[in-house]
Amino acid sequence: MTKVAAVDWLSQAFLSDPYSHYKALRESDPVHWDETRGSWLLTRYDQVAAALRDDDNLSAEQGPAFSMLVTDPPDHTRLRSLVSKAFTARTVQQLGGRIHQIVDELLDAVAPRGEMEVIADLAYPLPITVIAELIGVEPERRDFFRRASQKIAVALGPITDPSVAMSAFEGRTELLQYFDELIAKRRADPREDLISALLAAEERGDFLSHQELLGMLLLLLVGGHETTVNLIANGLLALLRNRDQLELLGTEDGIEKRAVEELLRYDSPVQYSGRIVRNDFEMGGETIRAGDGVRIIVGSANRDPAIFAEPDTLDLQRDPCPHLAFGSGIHFCLGAQLARLEGQIAISAAVRRFPALRLASADLRWRPAPVLRGLEALPVTL
């Protein structure tokens, strides 16, 4: 089997087109040992799907952690069941009206300017506002909340500058302090929000430690907006680069929903999940050993021609579209329904409101963060 040359995962060359590198791996070395990262890279759909579901051999646990994302059963099951009700399709549908309202306000604000920077003006403020309201952040603290989360978010990429790490630490401390205050208030005076629901669960005896409650709030905050930002911005970019597809929006029933599934497949906001091997096992003729790291590259599985015909073509009418952008198995994204709804509303509202929407620059830079795939900025004219 031909071995594929190592690449610099943080270079703009890789970031602007990771897919040709994934293709080479899928074709000639689908279970690849990456010496520089000290981990296995899985790139074929069937092996990616199998790995995401293989809880016997692979563990999500990463040291002492207090969040379900990096916890195995039974703790994972307990933590997830405490919040899963807040994220079911039915509960999330009820947020539709409010999401429309936020999107309309954001688009009203940019309309007179004749241009917008999609990330700062739409893709970032929408999910952070939605998750802040869901958690129960008080309206007068929303700006503080947004600034503190931004400090954490900057550090989700590789940290090249110590001031970024400092600022992330500061953001985390500020948020944890604020959550402590909010928890005390809601304990005394419960409202219809997620914090109050979690405190009620704790009182019913569904055990949730204080550390776990804070871990849960931070996970929902970071997971709830850093990814959805990229669904909206990567999605609009793909549509602007494929005008024939953009023009399909609004032409048939259900196209908005299908469009978002295809956009999630085509340029997945989360490119891979990490696991640690629990027991030795065989995959694709290789022995994967206990203690090894594994990167399960859903961004590559979603371009596998064994499952998706012409995988590098954006086709909003693709049906079915069994992408793995939200993972699979027990860690399947808890916020998938919410992300889908925000993506559908934001993308279709922007396209409908501004039919002449165009890219304002051909020079786009990707954030140096290979897990969360997103642009630094996406300037457009209206």
Residue ranges that bind ligand HEM, judged by CB under 6 A: 52, 60, 68-69, 80, 131, 219-220, 223-224, 227-228, 231, 269-270, 273, 325-327, 331, 333-335, 338-339
| For ligand HEM, the closer CB: 171 or 224 | 224
What is the C-alpha separation between 250 and 1, in angstroms, rounded?
47
* Shortest Cβ 335–ligand HEM spacing (Å): 2
What is the C-alpha separation between 372 and 271, in angstroms, rounded?
6
Three-state DSSP class for residue 375? strand
What is the C-alpha separation between 192 and 20, in angstroms, rounded?
48
Measured from each CB, the residue nearest to ligand HEM is 335
| For ligand HEM, the closer CB: 171 or 327 | 327
Find out whether 339 and 130 touch, Cβ atoms under 8 Å: no
* Shortest Cβ 314–ligand HEM spacing (Å): 17
Amino acid at 101: Q
* Shortest Cβ 123–ligand HEM spacing (Å): 11
* Shortest Cβ 41–ligand HEM spacing (Å): 15
Distance (Å) of CA 74 to CA 53, 79, 372: 16, 9, 28
| For ligand HEM, the closer CB: 182 or 382 | 182
What is the C-alpha separation between 4 and 25, in angstroms, rounded?
6
Amino acid at 42: L
| For ligand HEM, the closer CB: 338 or 378 | 338
Find out whether 259 and 249 touch, Cβ atoms under 8 Å: yes
Instruction: Label residue 323 left, alpha or beta by phi (over 0 means left) and psi (-120 to 50 means alpha).
Output: beta
| For ligand HEM, the closer CB: 80 or 367 | 80
Token pair of 243 as six digits: 């005008």
Sequence-distant (6+) residues with CB within 8 A of 157 are: 367, 368, 369, 372
| For ligand HEM, the closer CB: 179 or 382 | 179
| For ligand HEM, the closer CB: 378 or 382 | 378
Amino acid at 254: G
* Shortest Cβ 320–ligand HEM spacing (Å): 18
* Shortest Cβ 330–ligand HEM spacing (Å): 6
* Shortest Cβ 183–ligand HEM spacing (Å): 19
Residue 268 class from Cβ within 10 Å (0-12 exposed, 13-18 middle, 19+ buried)?
Answer: buried
What is the C-alpha separation between 234 and 369, in angstroms, rounded?
14
| For ligand HEM, the closer CB: 4 or 270 | 270
Three-state DSSP class for residue 31? strand
Amino acid at 327: G
* Shortest Cβ 204–ligand HEM spacing (Å): 21
Token pair of 286 as six digits: 């290789």
| For ligand HEM, the closer CB: 284 or 329 | 329
What is the C-alpha separation between 297 and 61, in angstroms, rounded?
18
* Shortest Cβ 117–ligand HEM spacing (Å): 20
